[in-house]
Amino acid sequence: MSLRRPSQATRRCRTVAIVLAGTLAGTLAIGVRMAAAVPDQLGTYADFSRITERSAGQFGPPGQPPSQWSWRTDGPGEYSISWDKDEPESRERFIRSGDGTWLLLDGWSDNGTYYRQRVTSESRGDGNCSNMTAIPPDGGRQHYVQWNVPGESYCLDVHGTITEQSSGKRFNFRHRQVWSPPTPCSNKEFPGRVCIKQHEIWWDDNQHPMRVTLDRDQYLAKGLGMAFTIVQRQPTPWSAELRNVWTY
pLDDT in tens, 70-114: 999 999 999 999 998 777 678 999 999 999 999 999 999 998 899
pLDDT of 35-70, one tens digit each?
333 344 699 999 999 999 999 999 999 999 999 999
pLDDT of residue 158: 98
Question: Does 25 have pLDDT greater than 60?
Answer: no
- The one-character DSSP state at 198 is E
Above 70 in pLDDT, residue 33?
no
**Is 23 a residue whose pLDDT tops 50?**
no
Angle (CA) 242 193 179, round 5°: 80
pLDDT the model gives residue 139: 95
pLDDT tens figures, 134-157: 999 999 999 999 999 999 999 999
Q: Say if residues 246 and 55 touch (Cβ distance below 8 Å).
A: yes
* pLDDT confidence of residue 41: 60
200 Cβ contact list (under 8 Å, min separation 6): 175, 176, 177, 178, 214, 215, 216, 218
pLDDT for position 88: 66
pLDDT of 14 higher than 90: no
Query: 22 Cβ partners below 8 Å, 6+ apart?
Result: none
Q: What is the pLDDT of residues 114-126, one digit of tens each?
A: 999 999 999 999 9
Report whether pLDDT(11) > 90: no
CA atoms within 13 A on the CB side of 224: 26
| Angstrom distances, CA of residue 82 to CA of 1, 141, 178, 189, 224 | 84, 19, 22, 22, 16
CA distance 214 to 196: 19
Is residue 130 classed as helix, strand or coil in its secondary structure?
Answer: coil
Whether 122 contacts 105, CB under 8 Å? no
The letter for the amino acid at 148 is: N
Give Cα 52 to chain centroid, integer Å: 14
Structural domain boundaries in the chain: 8-36, 42-247
Q: Say what the pLDDT of residue 170 is.
A: 98
pLDDT in tens, 231-244: 999 999 999 999 99
Structural Rg of the chain based on CA atoms: 25
Is-contact 120 157, C-beta < 8 A?
no
pLDDT tens digits, 163-193: 999 999 999 999 999 999 999 999 999 999 9
* Nearest CA-CA partner of 121 in 81, 175, 56: 175
